[in-house]
Chain A
Amino acid sequence: SQTIHQWPATLVQPVGSPLSLECTVEGTSNPNLYWYRQAAGRGLQLLFYSVGIGQISSEVPQNLSASRPQDRQFILSSKKLLLSDSGFYLCAWTPFGGREWAEQFFGPGTRLTVL
């Protein structure tokens, strides 16, 4: 069966510090991967998605970047955090192709607080 992991679960960082959040998927190959941010306990905003190694698409201009160094690894980074980067970050995946796999499967999330 497939599982998705995110770490860390919780992070408190000062303004101006770097950030690295990691997401890994097990039990599948060539997944599509996604990073979402959820602010103030409300809706989810898509930040980045990836359809393959080294292929990153950004949905919203911002202080963050993403990388996919391996097939099942997706990393969210920042060189200098802003207060507005605080939120709950969710990683998600979908199997490659196929109508029968339309839904996304989400990781447990990372709660980031920037002080």
Chain B
Amino acid sequence: AQTVTQSQPEMSVQEAETVTLSCTYDTSESDYYLFWYKQPPSRQMILVIRQEAYKQQNATENRFSVNFQKAAKSFSLKISDSQLGDAAMYFCAYRSAISGGSNYKLTFGKGTLLTVNP
């Protein structure tokens, strides 16, 4: 079974600065997806960024980028120019690329609570 570990329960960053959230995972599969979701105080889960394991290029979405190290099974999220609205719980998640049934489910880490200081 796959596992996802987020070793930083809480992080803080100054507004306009850069912060990196860590995520490691364990899997025996070679093809899979990785995600970062954001959960603000409203508790709505919002997709931040996704990465396909077969792609070597790191995904980017505006101020959000990832450092995907497949051999090390590491998937960190970098937030540049942090804004007050970035304050939220961030979850790393894994999904198998194998089709069918339970393979579509997401396995989540326990989350990192990000505080942005003005």
Contacts and interface: CB of A to CB of B under 8 A. Distances in A.
Size bracket, chain A contacts: 20 to 34
Contacts of A46: 105-107
The main secondary structure of chain B at its interface with chain A is mixed
B29 to A, nearest CB: 13
Interface of B: 33, 35, 42-45, 47, 50, 52, 89, 91, 95, 97, 99, 101-102, 104-111
A27 B44 CA distance: 20
Interface string A80-110: 0000000010101010010100111110110
Contact of B104 (A42, A49, A59, A105): A49
Given A97-B99, A103-B35, A108 B104 contact: no
The main secondary structure of chain A at its interface with chain B is strand
A104 B91 contact: no
A41 interface: yes
A107 to B, nearest CB: 8
B58 to A, nearest CB: 17
A109 B91 contact: no
Contacts of B102: 49, 57, 59
B47 A103 contact: yes
14 contacts: A38-B43, A42-B111, A43-B91, A43-B108, A44-B108, A51-B101, A88-B43, A92-B45, A94-B104, A99-B97, A102-B33, A102-B52, A104-B106, A108-B42
B26 to A, nearest CB: 16
Interface string A51-62: 100000101000
Contacts of B33: 102-103
